[in-house]
Amino acid sequence: MKILGISAYYHDSAAALVDSGVIVAAAQEERFTRKKHDSRFPKSAIEYCLKEGKTEIDSISAVVFYDKPMTKFERLLETYLAYAPQGLSSFLMAMPVWLKEKLFLKSILRKELKALMKNKKAKLPKLLFAEHHQSHAASAFFPSPFEKAAVLCLDGVGEWATTSVWLGEKNELKPQWEIEFPHSLGMLYSAFTYYTGFKVNSGEYKLMGLAPYGEPKYVDLIYDKLLSLKEDGTFRLNMEYFNYAVGLTMTSSKFNELFGGSPRKAEGKVTQKEMDLARSIQEVTEEVVLRLARTLQRELKTDALCLAGGVALNCVANGRLLREGIFKKIWIQPAAGDAGGALGAALSAWYEYFGNSREGDRDNDYMQGSYLGPSFQENEVRATLDLLGAKYEVLPDPQLNVRLAELLDKENVIGWCQGRMEFGPRALGGRSIIGDPRSQKMQSVMNLKIKYRESFRPFAPAVLAEDVSEYFDLNERSPYMLIVAPVATPHQTPMTESQKQLFGIEKLNIARSTLPAVTHVDYSARVQTVHKETNPKFYELLQAFKNRTGCGVLVNTSFNVRGEPIVCTTEDAYRCFMRTEMDYLVVENFLLSKQAQPSIRQDLSWQKEFELD
């Protein structure tokens, strides 16, 4: 039985194909269309999933959409009525879209699916609709290794729920309780993202990365004015300070007055104020998550916790949760945002709607390392590179790894494209840019000359799984780069007394450890453990680098520049490579040196300037 899951029309559109409970394929639409956070019907992602599954639409048993638009529409109407006459302009903007598209989503989906069918006379598969947080919960629990677990979903908002608690056991998810819109931890964090001048639904990572540069000066003010937090972790927001329920902005004028002025302009200078705001809301977020987790453990009496929803991508909070030891085991869906809802919807249908059995209590999860996207074929790579006029050499794996280890040791930056593309926002050694973590200059070079992004943003270490505790205070698997842990004390470089007096961005250029390129200013790192069973090629490269240098760690960041999705194809990779100051590109066994490449031809249709947001 094949089930196709779809998320679309709100945030990151995606598709996922499940065959008899096995995840066959999953991908975000943005990777194919090259439009970041593309929310349109995921036509290309669906076509990829069908191709990977060697099937057609009319052979699918069910198509499952990840939320219920009618329930969401009810929430929209009730919210506007509750706040009337406020929000009239926002209401007038929203209604045409709903009346034209979202309210009639069932017929729109049928039309789009019909267009993908080769046999136009064939019958469409059964069309099902899951609830938004049900999809999140299913994406968290069903691929997890656990037989039984508490499930916590935290995001902006689904239909009504913003926080939901579930008990997952075998093939069932039992809802426990929820917090409803407009009271939302995700929206609270996004309000600060907006106020500090970053883009909502994508800039939250930046706010999290900025937090260690600041001081928690505004924590008491947040609790006093914005957030009423109970001991059990439940909360309410003071909506006088927010405008997202019915307005066109996240914060109200009262919020602006509380924090001393209008939101920072997007390209304005990041000041100590923004750093302190980031640190403050990060600490508040962590406290809410910890209190909720303690309540779940006490109520549900389980040793395991699963997380999903956009807030579950806050890897600093995840690391804190792990260190507190509230649960013995934690598993986080790598595609925790709306894209992962496509997978959750398909799995929910397989286990709950169709009632199939499920095995848990495994050592490994069911996500296959999250390498669920398209892969490269040698003949296709060669044909593409030849068409682009690229110069390359082809090396067998052992020789290639030795060569790359040497290049990395000499502080070269390498674009690395191997195997299947990752599902979710993190590059995990499928579509990555890699470098030497021991290099003092690597962070600034990658940020400013490769990624074209803010200099303060940290990079993640990819480490051989068996070496993780040697470099970091972490004894757990972290294959999805979703846990922040301290760098191990022997690797830390103590600060001098004068360095301790530095504030904000002044801290950036102070080496904190033997791995300065991946050590944040608070001695932390966002760790990815690399496992031979899920990514043998990346593992072997790390091993080759360790054999040469004694260091089993590499810098790993996503293969893209600011404003663009992670690369998907050989063409995407070459274009990004030629538009940045990367030194080398490797696609499977094809190695390209920047110096050997011809000048970029101006008449190529694929060549576009990057849009830097």
**Given this model, what pLDDT does residue 119 score?**
87
Task: Check residues 597 and 494 and name the one with the higher pLDDT.
Answer: 597
pLDDT-derived band at 95 (thresholds 50, 70, 90) equals low
Q: What mean pLDDT value characterizes the chain?
A: 91
Query: pLDDT-derived band of residue 105, with 50, 70 and 90 as boundaries?
Result: confident
Return the pLDDT at 607: 40
* In the predicted structure, residue 148 carries a pLDDT above the cut 60: yes
Please name the CATH architecture into which domain 179-331 falls.
2-Layer Sandwich (3.30)
Residue written as tokens 């109407």? 77
Tell me which residue of 269, 261, 251 sits closest to 190, measured CA to CA.
251
Alpha-carbon separation of residue 115 from 100, 106, 120, 244, 496 (angstroms): 19, 14, 8, 36, 65
Are 2-141+336-361 and 179-331 in the same CATH fold? yes
Domain 380-596 has CATH 3.40.50.720: no
Domain ranges across the chain: 2-141+336-361, 179-331, 380-596
More confident residue, 605 or 481: 481
Task: Say yes or no to pLDDT of 245 above 90.
Answer: no
- φ/ψ (deg, to 5) at 557: -130, 160
Q: Please count the CA atoms within 13 angstroms of the CA of 432 that sit on its side-chain side.
A: 26
Lowest mean pLDDT among 291-300, 354-363, 597-606: 597-606
Cα gap 205→198, rounded to integer Å: 9
- Which pLDDT tens digit goes with each residue over 121-140? 889 999 999 999 999 999 99
d(CA 186, CA 320): 18
Q: Is 545 helix (H, G, I), strand (E, B) or coil?
A: helix
Residue where the block lists tokens 């450890």? 513
> pLDDT tens-digit profile of 268-284?
889 999 999 999 999 99
Q: Is the pLDDT of residue 611 over 60?
A: no
**Does the structure show a pLDDT above 90 at 93?**
no
C-beta of residue 63 within 8 angstroms of C-beta of residue 116:
no
pLDDT tens figures, 415-426: 999 999 999 999
Tally of CB atoms within 10 A around 571: 16
State the fold for domain 2-141+336-361.
Nucleotidyltransferase; domain 5 (3.30.420)
Res 246 pLDDT > 80: no
